[in-house]
Amino acid sequence: MQTIRIDNITKHFGNLEVLSNVDLTIEKGEFAAIVGPSGCGKSTVLRMIAGLDTPTTGQVLANGSVIRDPGPERVLIFQEHALYPWRTVEANVAFGLELAKVSAAERRTRVDEVLELVGLSGFQKYYPHQLSGGMKQRASIARALVLNPEVLLLDEPYGALDAITRLTMQNELIKLWRGTGKTVLLITHDIDEAVYLADTIHVMSPRPGRIVRTVKADMERPRNRNSAEFVALRRQVMESLDIGVYSI
């Protein structure tokens, strides 16, 4: 697994400063989340870790080495599933393995294993239009997992799902993380989602984005969203975002 270190990065797009002196560390095997208002640079941070963008100043490192390009050890999963509509589920999941010249026999084995892991066993021959939103996102996650990355980078992966499906997928993500031990970084606007899923929650300010607080969620899983401890953690994050907190 990889430790990710963001070392005093800034990012400018022309005259616009998007990120300002961002520092954070994501430990091996940790489930971390970043929350912050729209436009604060959360997704830009994620793209830098993925190797799809570079900081203006500072550096992003994986296990002490500067990240300069994308690599199979770090996989980015977007809100939109981006499945190829003309490919079946198994063909979509196998796409990266095809590019890597993995043999057909090994592809079948690895695809079947990961589809079982995400709860899509039996749907190998289905096309994306035949799947629900949650199933499409499972297929997208399976396409990432089949490459056996060390780091999963999740950019609002459940933002387009209905509330009930979103809660189900959150539970499935926890099971996947605990079963694989991968390092996970989640970008989300949903404070409850961050508190429910993450070990560590990094709170970002409005643009130019910077880390204003890091909250440790030292709670046993599964977490009770109605517990006093959960509510207290949610309050910490909301106060860090300068969101009004009202007593009922």
Q: Is 102 exposed, middle or buried (0-12, 13-18, 19+ CB in 10 A)?
A: middle
Q: How does pLDDT run across 200-217, given as a tens digit for each residue?
A: 999 999 999 999 999 999
Report, as an integer, the average pLDDT of 94-114.
92
Looking at residue 48, its amino acid is M
| Cβ atoms 209, 22 nearer than 8 A | yes
Cβ-proximal residues to 107 (8 Å cutoff; 6+ apart), any chain = 94, 97, 98
Q: Which CATH topology does 1-73+152-248 take?
A: Rossmann fold (3.40.50)
Q: What does the domain layout of the chain look like in residue ranges?
A: 1-73+152-248, 82-148
Q: Which of 56-60, 142-146, 213-217 has the lowest mean pLDDT?
A: 142-146
**pLDDT of amino acid 247:** 38
Cβ-proximal residues to 2 (8 Å cutoff; 6+ apart), any chain = 28, 62, 63, 73, 74, 150, 151, 183
3 state DSSP class of 46: helix
Q: What percent of the chain has pLDDT over 90?
A: 68
Report, as an integer, the average pLDDT of 218-243.
91
Report, as an integer, the average pLDDT of 124-140.
91
* Strand order through the sheet with 16-26: 16-26, 4-13, 57-62, 65-66
Q: What percent of the chain has pLDDT over 70?
A: 97
> What pTM does this model have?
0.89
Phi, psi of 111 (to 5 degrees): -65, -45
